[in-house]
Amino acid sequence: MRFLLLLLILHISYSSAARAISEHRALMAVKSSITNDPRSYLSNWNATTPLCSFTGVTCDHTGRYVTSINLTNFNLSGTLSPSFSHLRFLRNLSVAVNQLSGPIPMKLSALSGLRYLNLSFNVFNGSFPTQLSQLKNLQVLDLYDNNMTGEIPVSVTELPNLRYLHLGGNYFTGHIPSSYGLWEHLEYLAVSGNELNGKIPPEIGNLTKLQQLYIGYFNTFEGGLPREIGNLSELVRFDAAHCRLTGEIPPEIGKLKKLDTLFLYANLLSGSLPPELGTLKSLKSMGLSENILTGEIPESFAELRNLTLLQLFRNNLQGQIPDIIGEWPELEILQLWGNNFTGSIPQKLGSNKKLKFFDLSVNQLKGPIPPALGNLTSLTDILLFDNELTGFQKTFRKHDFVRDIAVSSPSELPATPAIAPATAAITPTTAAITGISRVVVVSQATMEFGRIIKG
């Protein structure tokens, strides 16, 4: 009996040692696939260093199994080794922010316990390996900013525990699959910056735990936003900018009570601003610029008291700018240029002491500049040209902390040494875009160019 017990103990010890050696050899194979390690992060990945002392490697509490590998921002070049698949207890793997290339090894599907996989900010290419759908415990999959091609993967919908999926910044094509609405736990979804087309599936509205949704930039969708978008009750950030959306902004967006960021700019959205947007009391940033929106700013916008940024420029909006905008306590950036607004500037604009940048140029505004603007030490940019406003000299005569003031008539210039009128030696465009403290007389065409340069 004692002899048998001794044999069992020796067998267990040998098996454990064999597994440890196997994992050690696996990581040495991983290192061999790295062609350049300029900072020598992997210099201690060698035969004499204990496995759990390798840079970026974490083991379990027994010190026998690798459970986590973090090689983020090591500036490594090479390929992703299939030998990672031998690390049977691996839970977390990140090689983000490197210069790794080639295809994603399908053998990673052997890592049945993997929960976190971050391959972002590399140059991986090829299509998404369908075999990775076997990673049933995966919760985070980040492929952002690579050179992945082919149809946007449907197989990822077979990952039932996924909470974070970033496929953006690649070259995926095709339509967003309707099956993307099947995840029960998904909190973050990004497919922006690809070459997607077709309609946005209404099934997206089934992702009731979703907190962040990014679908814009370089995608060219057909039609508009589905009304089911209003079912995403947990949504905090929604970015569908620059993806050729048409139609009207669905009023159902007003149901997203937790939303703090809404970007729909640079599309072809038409119709009026839905009054329901005014019910989004958590909203901090709203960008609806560069569409073909019409009508007036709804009175319900008075409730948006947490807004720090409002961008409605380059639309066909009209009517008066509501006085309540001047009372928003958190407002820092206000851009309403390139519309047909009439009446006067809200006289309380700037009373919140936080306003940094405002551009009301190219409208039909009249009357005096609000005196409160002259006392704002936070203010850096003022663009009011192509209106019929008065009171520049009175309001800004002591405003030596302003970086740029753009007006359209020399008679509007404040006569102070700190922000003296532009001379022939400084062109309007140059002065407007270099950030110097100088008043500039500009035309609309000149300022358009300046905006492009400044971004």
* Mean pLDDT of the 113-141 span: 96
- pLDDT tens-digit series, residues 96-109: 999 999 999 999 99
Where is 164: in which H helix or E strand?
strand 164-166
pTM: 0.85
Average pLDDT, stretch 155-174? 96
What is the predicted pLDDT for the residue at 374? 79
State the pLDDT confidence band at 395, using cuts at 50, 70 and 90: low
User: CA nearest 345: which of 377, 327, 369, 381?
Assistant: 369
Of these ranges, 47-56, 284-293, 402-411, 417-426, the one predicted with the greatest mean pLDDT is 284-293
Q: With pLDDT > 70 as the criterion, what percentage of the chain qualifies?
A: 82
What's the pLDDT score for residue 341? 96
3-class DSSP state of 118: strand
Whether residue 17 has pLDDT greater than 60: no
pLDDT at 267 over 60: yes
- The answer to whether the beta carbons of residues 283 and 255 sit under 8 Å apart is no
pLDDT higher than threshold 50 for residue 429: no
* Cross-strand pairs, 292: 270
Distance of CA 135 to the CA centre of its chain: 27
Please report, for residues 143, 193, 291, 375, 391, the alpha-carbon distance to residue 243 in angstroms, rounded to integers and kept in the order given: 20, 9, 11, 40, 41
Token pair of 410, please?
Answer: 């020399």
Q: How many Cα atoms are found within 13 Å in the side-chain-facing hemisphere of 176?
A: 28
pLDDT-based confidence at residue 398 (cuts at 50, 70, 90): low
pLDDT at 44 over 90: yes
**Are β-strands 66-70 and 57-59 bridged in parallel, bridged antiparallel, or unpaired?**
antiparallel
* Per-residue b or e along 264-298, where b marks 16 or more CB atoms closer than 10 Å to that residue's CB: bbbbebbeebbebbbbbeebbbbbbbbbebeeebb
pLDDT for residue 326: 85
| Rounded CA separation 111/78 (Å) | 21
| Tens digits of residue pLDDT in 309-366 | 999 999 999 999 999 888 899 999 999 999 999 999 998 888 888 899 989 999 999 9
Given CA atoms 152, 204, 141, 19 in this order, what sign does their dihedral have? Answer: negative
Q: Which whole number is the average pLDDT over 383-412?
A: 64
Average pLDDT over residues 41-51: 93
Q: What are the two backbone dihedrals, phi and then psi, of residue 97, each rounded to the nearest 5 degrees?
A: 60, 60
Instruction: Answer yes or no: are the C-beta atoms of 102 and 124 closer than 8 Å.
Output: yes
pLDDT of 330:
94
pLDDT at residue 276 greater than cutoff 50: yes
Q: Which domains, from first to last, does the chain contain? A: 2-366 (3.80.10.10)
273, 219, 267, 269: which is closest to 251 by C-alpha?
A: 273
Specify the pLDDT at position 351: 82
